[in-house]
A and B are shown apart, each in its own frame.
Chain A
């Protein structure tokens, strides 16, 4: 079972606010899931290469060119921001 202190630490890393009750719930759930996935320790993976791409696609590259979307896409993207000033996205200051 993972400790409550560790669960709190993970919540901080994940940038999520939780109530104490929720944290206790996660402690239980995460422990059960971790116990289940521990099954993987049964598999002998000595000398096995990890898979990050299942189809072995080669790198696909393209020229790094500036392109205009040709419509009002940029305006719509800016418009989606919750807080803005003119065409700037506004955030709280960081000190």
Chain B
């Protein structure tokens, strides 16, 4: 069974026309996992028995000619920082090595309700802190297309699993690019919604003012189907909101779109091979009659600095809960304080401890104004840059990464080099904007993605532009 060209719609069609049974199809995905995941290491856990049983139920529905829900039989992999009831959920950390999720995240509940089959939980950088998958406490994930290369991160397992046909699509979380960036590196689609549009109930918090759950898929159509199912206000997440709140008109027709190219994201600092693919795509867009305008986002270059103040500060607060008292691993000590010190010293990984230390320093007496408050003000400047830009253009186009994909180990011992991987993705998180990474080409066998960024709540026009790009500008053979 050829899984590489399967999409959600084709799957539904195949099931409906009895080209294959749901069990056969799930069996084929599980077969790929058995065959390839020992080396790729995309999965933390695989639910083979339950997946096959769920597939059997879908087959029974089909034989009774009952109406199938929207995602009937679709095998979805879920990043291991999103709770799936009754399943171990580690967030890539040893401190949650024994943690069993007591409830379903809202996004998981929605997927299950639509008949999706949760095939497994995916590997990730510990607590989503990292850009390469190498900071997982459970071993690194290989890039399925180039074994010497990192798959990107922190949704490393989700991107690798989709790319290697070990699931049809996946969920990840994106705090600075953690969905878009591994999607770009693994040659697939990854999308981050507007801040608040997808409920985070059941997502293990990293940096609460930035975290969003988003879909990873082979193509735009599948990413949009997933997004439409997981979006929406949730009473269990008071930061969640409806889409379309500020958007009443339908998205503009593609031909009438004006796309902005920020000079800060297309010139110096962008590797030549990436720039070539960007410029090639711009020429093709212009050739299709789409208006391109050069714009400026003067403060966007400060994004990474802002991020590495705001995130560690929020991390140091959010991760205070891992103290060995209520859940997770615990290391005993003489006094209560020793339990905290020992548990956190023993079970938190190096990058996590580095960010907690940095955040604690930034929030400590005397430094708050100089770092945190200043970063939140520069964040305002970045948001104002986008607001001004979106008065002139409908969407913004940039590369997803400033460089080609990098090798495993290449940035591991240089935290700053690792952080700069997020240079072009982090601004959308700081400003809460929806953004999507689309495969745009290859250089020397390495995948390059481009990123569209839209104004708040304009996911519709984001997807329709991305769809146009996929079909007309960078079509892939599948």
> A and B bound?
yes
* Contact residues, B333-365 vs A (CB, 8 A): 333-342, 344-346, 348, 353-354, 356-358, 360-361, 364
Contact B378 A82 (CB under 8 A): no
Give B191 Cβ to nearest chain A Cβ, in Å: 17
Q: In whole angstroms, how far apart are the Cα atoms of A10 and B235 in the complex? A: 37
Contact B357 A26 (CB under 8 A): yes
* Contact residues, B166-198 vs A (CB, 8 A): 194-196
Contact A45 B330 (CB under 8 A): no
Residue of A nearest to B374 (CB): A40
**Chain B CB within 8 A of A4 CB:** no
Q: In whole angstroms, how far apart are the Cα atoms of A60 and B175 in the complex? A: 23
Which of these, B100, B364, B415, contacts A10 with CB under 8 Å? B364
**Chain A CB within 8 A of B20 CB:** no
Which of these, B306, B364, B433, contacts A13 with CB under 8 Å? B364
Contact B378 A43 (CB under 8 A): yes
Residue of A nearest to B327 (CB): A80
Q: In whole angstroms, how far apart are the Cα atoms of A33 and B15 in the complex? A: 53
Which of these, B103, B329, B333, B361, contacts A73 with CB under 8 Å? B103
**Chain A CB within 8 A of B247 CB:** no
Q: Could you mark each residue 6-29 of chain A with 1 if its beta carbon is under 8 Å from any beta carbon of chain B, else 0?
A: 110011011111100000001001
Give A39 Cβ to nearest chain B Cβ, in Å: 5
What residues on A are CB-neighbors of B346 within 8 Å? Answer: 17
**Chain B CB within 8 A of A52 CB:** yes
**Chain B CB within 8 A of A92 CB:** yes
Prevailing SS type, chain A contact patch: loop
Give the size range of B's interface with the partner: 35 or more
Q: In whole angstroms, how far apart are the Cα atoms of A53 and B316 in the complex? A: 19
Residue of B nearest to A60 (CB): B238
Query: Known contacts A40-B309, A80-B327; is A16 also within 8 Å of B353 by CB?
Result: yes
What residues on A are CB-neighbors of B327 within 8 Å? Answer: 77, 80-82
| Size of A's binding interface in residues, CB under 8 A | 48
**Chain B CB within 8 A of A1 CB:** no
* Partner-binding segment picked from B257-265, B275-283, B379-387: B379-387
Residue of B nearest to A78 (CB): B326
Q: In whole angstroms, how far apart are the Cα atoms of A17 and B345 in the complex? A: 5
Q: In whole angstroms, how far apart are the Cα atoms of A76 and B324 in the complex? A: 17
Query: Known contacts A17-B345, A29-B354; is A49 also within 8 Å of B377 by CB?
Result: yes
Query: Known contacts A52-B209, A54-B431; is A40 also within 8 Å of B330 by CB?
Result: no
Query: Known contacts A49-B377, A50-B377, A82-B329; is A14 also within 8 Å of B357 by CB?
Result: yes
Which of these, A29, A51, A82, contacts B380 with CB under 8 Å? A51
Contact A55 B195 (CB under 8 A): yes
Query: Known contacts A29-B354, A37-B305; is A43 also within 8 Å of B344 by CB?
Result: no
Q: In whole angstroms, how far apart are the Cα atoms of A54 and B380 in the complex? A: 8
* Contact residues, A39-95 vs B (CB, 8 A): 39-43, 45, 48-55, 57, 60, 62, 73, 76-77, 80-83, 89, 91-94
Q: Quick one: which of B329, B348, B358, B381 has the most chain A CB within 10 A?
A: B358
Give A24 Cβ to nearest chain B Cβ, in Å: 13
What residues on B are CB-neighbors of A92 within 8 Å? Answer: 333-336, 338-339
Q: In whole angstroms, how far apart are the Cα atoms of A66 and B34 in the complex? A: 46
Q: In whole angstroms, how far apart are the Cα atoms of A14 and B320 in the complex? A: 8
Q: Quick one: which of A29, A73, A89 has the most chain B CB within 10 A?
A: A29
What residues on B are CB-neighbors of A49 within 8 Å? Answer: 377, 380
Residue of B nearest to A54 (CB): B432
Query: Known contacts A13-B364, A40-B309, A82-B325; is A54 also within 8 Å of B195 by CB?
Result: yes
Contact A81 B326 (CB under 8 A): yes
**Chain A CB within 8 A of B390 CB:** no
**Chain A CB within 8 A of B308 CB:** yes
A62-B235, A73-B102, A93-B336 given; 16 more Cβ-contact pairs under 8 Å: A6-B361, A14-B344, A30-B361, A36-B304, A36-B308, A37-B375, A39-B302, A40-B306, A40-B374, A49-B380, A50-B376, A50-B379, A52-B209, A54-B195, A92-B335, A92-B338
Contacts from A to B (Cβ < 8 Å): 2, 6-7, 10-11, 13-18, 26, 29-30, 32-34, 36-37, 39-43, 45, 48-55, 57, 60, 62, 73, 76-77, 80-83, 89, 91-94
